[in-house]
């Protein structure tokens, strides 16, 4: 397969890059100043596969799809597909794969970690100790809020949402959820709207796919339904949350706290969030463990190998 051109859109994982380099003719887009320079220096007709991730802009993907005449497969090093124009790929006969399942546990773990960090003020406590305030008698660290026994609402009860629910159950939490349709294989309480879900839980976790319908699914009405003691946790996509409304609710005390691993315009983050104590921020790091990122890389490579060997794809989307 050494003569098969595979274009890697941006740096993702050294292990993935090494595996692709060993098996294919790997082209690294980031070694070129821009797309015009790239297409001027390479044989576009030789590129038959494209590897991207959740951070590549849709505009760049459209350029690749339009200017690679023999592109056969697009493999994304992510579960999320919101950057990929699936309809366009289907129209052009380009197969699409992603990397589900292997990152489920890590993302569910980070959701629980964010809940604990927000409720128990772990980041604030860390700063309190490091600043030497603990040893000063007139400074006492504030009380925090218990996680055990809280009611947890989950938006999206797919693989990750279900894994979060099972972990929260271990804390004796009551679980409820909202999704496009009611799940028949669970006893968790279902609410047909996000408003109803938010009105009946203390912690609201976003774990659904980003679509036009779920964009800003966390809006002012949902936040106000959750209330001043409620907590929003987002480990899905930044576009799910109306950040301006979230910030105003936190500042005004209409929401109790938030834990965010994703942002609307990442890696740019609204700096107003930096000064809010009851917010914990992570750099879209939910699945960023060595074990999971390497497993994702293996899945990308195995899908490409399966395609070029005319075998069934492991995780076909289109």
pLDDT band at 55 (very low <50, low <70, confident <90, very high): confident
| Phi/psi at 153 (5° precision) | -105, 135
- The model carries a pTM of 0.92
CA pair distance 152, 75, nearest whole angstrom: 34
Q: pLDDT tens for residues 84-93?
A: 999 999 999 9
156 in the same domain as 74 = no
151 in the same domain as 82 = no
252 in the same domain as 108 = yes
Q: Are 246 and 268 in contact (CB under 8 A)?
A: no
Give me the torsion for CA of 116, 118, 123, 128, rounded to 10°: -110
Number of domains in the chain: 2
**18 is known as an active-site residue:** no
**120 is known as an active-site residue:** no
Q: pLDDT tens for residues 140-176?
A: 899 999 999 999 999 999 999 999 999 999 999 999 9
110 in the same domain as 83 = no
108 in the same domain as 98 = no
pLDDT band at 102 (very low <50, low <70, confident <90, very high): very high
Q: Please give the residue range of the domain that contains residue 121.
A: 104-281
154 in the same domain as 243 = yes
274 in the same domain as 145 = yes
For the record, the structure tokens of 274 come out as: 């930096």
259 within some domain = yes
126 in the same domain as 217 = yes
**Which is the catalytic residue, given 48, 95, 237, 293?**
237
265 in the same domain as 142 = yes
**Which is the catalytic residue, given 17, 196, 266, 272?**
266
CATH number for the domain including 98?
3.40.50.720
183 in the same domain as 264 = yes
47 within some domain = yes
**21 is known as an active-site residue:** no
**Which is the catalytic residue, given 120, 284, 302, 316?**
284
């Amino acid at each position: 397969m050494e003569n098969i051109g595979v274009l890697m859109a941006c740096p993702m994982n050294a292990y993935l890059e090494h595996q692709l380099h060993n098996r294919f003719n790997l082209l690294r887009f980031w070694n070129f100043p821009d797309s015009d320079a790239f297409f001027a220096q390479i044989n576009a007709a030789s590129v038959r596969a494209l590897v991207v991730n959740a951070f590549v802009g849709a505009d760049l993907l459209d350029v690749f799809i339009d200017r690679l005449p023999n592109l056969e497969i697009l493999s994304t090093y992510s579960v999320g597909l919101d950057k990929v124009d699936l309809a366009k790929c289907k129209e052009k006969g380009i197969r699409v794969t992603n990397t589900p399942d292997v990152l489920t546990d890590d993302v569910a773990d980070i959701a629980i970690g964010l809940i604990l960090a927000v409720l128990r003020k772990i980041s604030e406590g860390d700063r309190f100790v490091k600043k030497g305030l603990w040893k000063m008698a007139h400074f006492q660290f504030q009380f925090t809020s218990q996680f055990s026994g809280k009611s947890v609402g989950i938006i999206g009860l797919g693989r990750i949402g279900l894994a979060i629910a099972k972990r929260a159950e271990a804390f004796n939490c009551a679980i409820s959820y909202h999704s496009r349709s009611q799940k028949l294989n669970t006893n968790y309480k279902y609410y047909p709207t996000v408003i109803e879900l938010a009105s009946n839980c203390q912690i609201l976790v976003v774990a659904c796919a980003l679509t036009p319908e779920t964009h800003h699914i966390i809006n002012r009405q949902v936040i106000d339904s959750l209330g001043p003691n409620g907590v929003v946790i987002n480990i899905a996509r930044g576009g799910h949350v109306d950040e301006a409304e979230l910030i105003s609710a936190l500042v005004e005390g209409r929401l109790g706290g938030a834990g965010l691993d994703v942002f609307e315009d990442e890696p740019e983050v609204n700096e107003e969030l930096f000064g809010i104590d009851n917010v914990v921020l992570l750099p879209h790091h939910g699945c960023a463990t060595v074990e999971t990122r390497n497993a994702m890389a293996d899945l990308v490579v195995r899908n490409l190998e399966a395609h070029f060997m005319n075998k069934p794809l492991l995780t076909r989307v289109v």
